[in-house]
Amino acid sequence: MQTIEIDRLGKVFLNGKPIRIEELGTCICTLDRSMPMLIRADREVGLQAFVDVLDVVKNLGFRKVSLLTEVKR
């Protein structure tokens, strides 16, 4: 499973390593499309940052995508 995280400032991390959203497609394009992807977003992240990540993953044809957000405290 690959994990894409978005922090509250909108910064993106792939498996814990910081990357720019512009690099995400290049970083995951060689992966098997049946590999599960987990997108984890801070509850305070802007919607557009989340949608940008989801668009990259979906446009590359990944089918097993799970979403995880923080629970409101």
Which residue segments constitute the domains of the chain, with CATH numbers given?
2-69 (3.30.420.270)
For the cut 90, the answer to whether the pLDDT of residue 43 exceeds it is no
Would you state the pLDDT for residue 21? 93
d(CA 39, CA 41): 7
Mean pLDDT of the chain: 91
Would you state the pLDDT for residue 46? 87
For the cut 80, the answer to whether the pLDDT of residue 73 exceeds it is no
Is the distance from CB of 4 to CB of 38 less than 8 angstroms? yes
d(CA 54, CA 67): 9
pLDDT tens per residue across span 18-41: 999 999 999 999 999 999 999 999
